[in-house]
Amino acid sequence: MRLEVDIAGKTFKSAAGEQHDVIAGVTFALNAGEAGVLVGPSGCGKSTMLRILAGLDPDFQGRIARPAGARIGFVFQEPRLLPWRSVEDNVRIAAPLADDAKLSALFEILELKAHRNHFPGELSLGLARRVALARAFAVEPQLLILDEPLASLDAALAARLRDEIAILMDGRSMITLLVTHDVDDAVRLGDRVILLSPRPARILADVPIRTPRSARGDAETAAIKSEIMRRINGSPAKQDAS
Amino acid sequence: MPRLLSFAVFLAIWWIAALLAGDAKLPPPPAVLGVMAAEARSGDLFFHLGATLARVALAFTLAMALGAAIGYLMGRVRLADRLGDPWLILLLNLPALVVIVLAYIWAGLTEVAAIAAIAINKLPTAVVTLREGARALDAALDEMASVFALPPWSKFRHVVLPQLSPYVAAAARSGLSLVWKIVLVAELLGRPNGVGFEIGVAFQLFDIPLLLAYSLSFAAIVLLIETLLVQPFEARASRWRPRAA
């Protein structure tokens, strides 16, 4: 089980007919059980990259090697639930094979037990995200893709949801790919942080985190975080001069 | 309650108008009701209503099924849209009478000709409505369905159909009223039974109570089907929507 990503280039044609380079060259590979985090500024092409990885966008230069027939769990930036189906049905439609006990456990962890029969239109963004997470985990994915799962939530809620995601990730061995612009989330959830440049995206640095997620203390988290911040802010030219 | 009141007002206006106009032009409600009862007793009323309803049901189903399929295709496939569009504009603007007369000339005064003519009249409006629905399908949900590898039937049932159902309801609603109008013309011109045929007879004999008896029975059936079938379907299809006005 291995995900190999080699995107040599991706261009967009705007409505006005101009060509825009979105991705300049991104190559990395993830093994089973590994959680990679893509960190980069807004609009650097992270979401585009995820769509290519999931096979939604075949129009790019390069190559993606996914395990054949791998089940994908995808948490989109907007929850993308079916508004005309209940919370439970939304999960069951994506994961028809999931058994009741497993779903109950999932709803328990994500605090959705009281909302099984609600329609998505009756949920707050935080709850709708949780449903999208439940759906992605219910399919028992071999490849889990999370696109900014904590964006536009208040800090306390984001922290709680992040812990819940960590619990779910620990409960299953799969390849996880998370996209975020928040270094703190990246360090707390990932095993490897891949830093991306502004558009067109290139890899600036690939930082492995050796301590397992559950064993990371606050001090260590802070240390890794400052290391990453240094890499983001420090320009290579300055380092050459010193 | 408001419905009953509006029915009572209708009866009152009719009665007053009947008194002013005189029996020869507009018979009062009891006279028409009497004819209606007599026709019902002899079984003629139900026979003719049944014949008309059967034609409506067949033509409506045919036009909806074909119209939905063609409309969906035209909304999703650009080439189909380009090829079909001139035909659609032609059919939309072809007078119903032309279609009916041509159908009777080419296929004879047969049931098939009548039903086909009615269906052809309704078809283009169903196509146009469903085409809009297919164009408005949410690409984000489409991506969700393909990432999670939903089987085609599941995708159709849970992702596509609920998005199309307001359009299906709109096409059904406008199509049904169109079919109600056209079926009587088709019957008048070339069928030996049905409400349209009876109205033709009443017209030739200048039998106004008979004419009104059949027209009003027909109107009652239309109202009944609208309230018992079409409206509940619409309510069910939009039950997930946060309640609007």
Structural tokens at position B61: 């189903």
- Model confidence at B231, pLDDT cuts 50, 70, 90, reads confident
- Model confidence at A239, pLDDT cuts 50, 70, 90, reads very low
Q: How far is B159 from chain A (nearest CA, A)?
A: 7
Put simply, whether B244 touches A (Cβ < 8 Å) is no
Q: How far is B145 from chain A (nearest CA, A)?
A: 8
Q: Is the pLDDT of residue A15 over 60?
A: yes
Domains of chain A (ranges, CATH numbers): 31-56+69-193+208-233 (3.40.50.300)
Whole-number pLDDT of residue A182: 85
Provide the whole-model pTM: 0.78
- Best of B144, B156, B241 to disrupt the A interface by mutation (most A CBs within 10 Å)? B144
Residues found in chain B? 245
Look at residues B80, B145, B221 and name the one whose alpha carbon lies nearest to residue A54. B145
Q: Which of B140, B150, B158 sits opposite A80 (nearest CB)?
A: B140
Whole-number pLDDT of residue A66: 85
Residues of A in contact with B144 (CB under 8 A): 74, 76, 80
- Model confidence at B245, pLDDT cuts 50, 70, 90, reads very low
Whole-number pLDDT of residue B243: 59
**A121 Cβ neighbours under 8 A, 6+ residues apart:** A83, B240, B241, B242
If contacts are CB pairs under 8 Å, which of residues 137-176 in chain B contact chain A?
Answer: 140-141, 143-144, 146-150, 154, 158-159, 162
Q: Is the pLDDT of residue B227 over 60?
A: yes
Domains of chain B (ranges, CATH numbers): 31-237 (1.10.3720.10)
Q: How far is B240 from chain A (nearest CA, A)?
A: 5
- Cβ separation of A93 and B154 shorter than 8 Å? yes
- Cβ separation of B148 and A83 shorter than 8 Å? no
Strand order in the sheet with A143-147: A61-65, A2-13, A19-31, A201-208, A192-196, A35-39, A175-180, A143-147, A72-75
Look at residues A100, A101, A167 and name the one whose alpha carbon lies nearest to residue A133. A167
Look at residues A126, A179, A132 and name the one whose alpha carbon lies nearest to residue A153. A126
Whole-number pLDDT of residue A238: 42
Residues of B in contact with A55 (CB under 8 A): 146-147
Q: Is the pLDDT of residue B180 over 50?
A: yes
- Cβ separation of B147 and A74 shorter than 8 Å? yes
Average predicted confidence (pLDDT) for chain A: 87
Q: How many CB atoms lie within 10 A of CB B133?
A: 22
- Model confidence at B242, pLDDT cuts 50, 70, 90, reads low
Put simply, whether A217 touches B (Cβ < 8 Å) is no
Least reliable range by pLDDT among A111-120, A217-226, B156-165, B201-210: A217-226
pLDDT tens digits, A46-98: 888 999 988 898 888 988 888 778 899 999 999 999 999 999 999 999 999 88
Q: Is the pLDDT of residue A23 over 50?
A: yes
Q: Are A216 and A184 in contact (CB under 8 A)?
A: no
Residues of B in contact with A73 (CB under 8 A): 148
Residues of B in contact with A139 (CB under 8 A): 148
Q: Are A180 and A109 in contact (CB under 8 A)?
A: no
- Separation between Cα atoms, residue A143 and residue A137, nearest integer Å: 10
> ipTM score of the complex?
0.86
Q: Are A45 and B121 in contact (CB under 8 A)?
A: no
pLDDT tens digits, B75-133: 999 999 999 999 999 999 999 999 999 999 999 999 999 999 999 999 999 999 999 99
Q: Is the pLDDT of residue B241 over 70?
A: yes
Helices (H), A66-201: 87-94, 100-109, 125-138, 155-170, 183-189
Buried residues in A78-110 as b, exposed as e (16+ CB within 10 A): ebbbbbbbbbbbbbbbbbeebeeeebeebbebb
Q: Is the pLDDT of residue B187 over 80?
A: yes
- Separation between Cα atoms, residue B67 and residue A24, nearest integer Å: 47
